[in-house]
Structure 1
């Protein structure tokens, strides 16, 4: 399910994130040259997304919890993780009822990934030749880190005042220099915002899928996952449906 600004949209799914090619037309994401996958969204064959073997990793996921590298390491060691598996990291947080009850706080107060967790998961996926990462958590990285990246600063504004961005902010962007290839225009984050590991994950995966719901209903430790993204030409992200088939 995809979280919008005010609700969970039942007509779509979690963002389906692909690793863009270095010559992507927008060139706005900080990918390294050692990325494993380079397909854009419309280049991923639909038949390759049907009944994919997937291992489930269970990690803590209470309110505002930061998933650690040790959490990922323990979950990997405990799971029946086989070469070529996709990965579903389940926190127990994601549910439609909780999302509707909490509104925007569902994402901001939910569990997030620390930098060490991103790096640990990236290394495990490379070692197992995994392609797709799915997570029950509403965010990759923490709300504190992404809040700064979203220009909310230390004071997160929920809901954001309209118009957003403001006229003044839009004019300032027009006067700002354009970012170079594979660079992102973003504010300078203070140390207390922490460090993000999104780049490490993107360079090790075909796709990152976040904000899944109802994964706690899965009883098996392994499933076959059907992944149905909206095809966006030259795109890097799209709403997506996920269907877990228990073996």
Structure 2
């Protein structure tokens, strides 16, 4: 059977709440530079944060000596063998250490496999623009993230992907209550003076609490967050190709992720969501 290709990347949209809920995220915006009607060509000025939509995080996210995105060899981005690992998770639910251990133990995990942690959170396109999609995402506990890093490291796995929007509880303990809980007009998006002032007081002691799971996992494993449409995979073994923006010197960038399914055997009877028609 002809392989099926599915785009697992959440579209970047001006309608999305992404970039408006946390002080370190900038919303996606476009402004006309030239228009087809007036100039004969459409050109745009685009601004967005590094965490817009589906994105790749590397060791430089939390370490000054960690590898940056542009240092990830291209061979590790293309046609990767991967295993899909289902994880039951509710809205706002914490995924624990034992749940991660059990899920990996039950998977057909082979040495060097990339791992897709599938909760189903990104399978409903109707909620991708809503605040709740970001604020109520399932997340990993710190022990779960540490265990995941340890088990995948032993397996020579260097890449994990998930449809969770964040690895930690969105906003953590501090930013969620000190910033996100405010009325929208009291927390204008970065680069507002208010966001800059908050971040000036958002020091490492708070970051290490709010981002504990993220820092623990990305220090060792390249990590993709915010996949969509994983319910359409159906198969447990797939191939993945990643296309991160080739930005120098950073630890997080938007990233396109495409899955190739080997045939229709084992496919979901009704894929929950795929953001584009399979090729």
- Which of these two proteins has the greater Rg computed from alpha carbons? 2
Per-residue deviation, 1:156? 2.2
Aligned-partner SS, 2:223: strand
1:16 matched residue in structure 2: 56
Q: Over aligned residue pairs, what C-alpha RMSD do you find?
A: 3.2
- 2:249 pairs, out of 231, 234, 240, with 234
Distance 1:195 1:209, change over 3 A: closer
TM-score, length-normalised on structure 2? 0.67
CA 1:194 to 1:236, structure 2 compared with 1: closer, same or farther past 3 Å? closer
Is 1:29 matched up with 2:29?
no
State the alpha-carbon separation in 1 of the partners of residues 185 and 159 from structure 2. Answer: 32
Q: Alpha-carbon deviations, 1:118-177, whole Å to 9, x = none?
A: 01111111110101110111110112xx34343643862464635346646646877x7x
Q: State the aligned residue count.
A: 219
Q: Deviation per CA, 1:182-215, whole angstroms, max 9, x where unpaired?
A: xx824648xxx7882222212221x211110001
Seen in structure 2, the aligned counterparts of structure 1 residues 162 and 130 have a Cα distance that, compared at 3 Å, is same
2:197 paired with 1:197: no
Between the aligned partners of 1:170 and 1:195, the Cα distance in structure 2 is 19
Contact residue 5 and residue 104 of structure 1 kept, 8 A: no
Q: Determine the structure 1 residue equivalent to 2:203.
A: 185
Tell me which residue corresponds to 2:188. Answer: 163
- 1:123 and 2:153 are equivalent in the alignment: no
2:136 pairs with 96, 109, 123, which one?
A: 109
Change (3 A) 1:57 1:233: same
Matched residues in 2 for 1:171 and 1:63: separation?
31
1:92 pairs with 2:120: yes
> Of the candidates 96, 106, 123, which is equivalent to residue 68 of structure 1?
96
- Paired with 2:135 and 2:142, the residues of 1 have a C-alpha distance of 17
| Corresponding residue to 1:44 among 72, 84, 87 | 72
Provide TM-score, normalisation by structure 1.
0.75
CA gap 1:58/1:158 in 2 versus in 1, 3 angstroms: farther
Distance 1:126 1:210 in 2: 19
- Is the Cα–Cα contact under 8 Å of residues 16 and 209 in structure 1 kept in the other structure? yes
Q: What is residue 148 of structure 1 aligned with on the other side?
A: 173
Is 1:78 the counterpart of 2:94? The answer is no
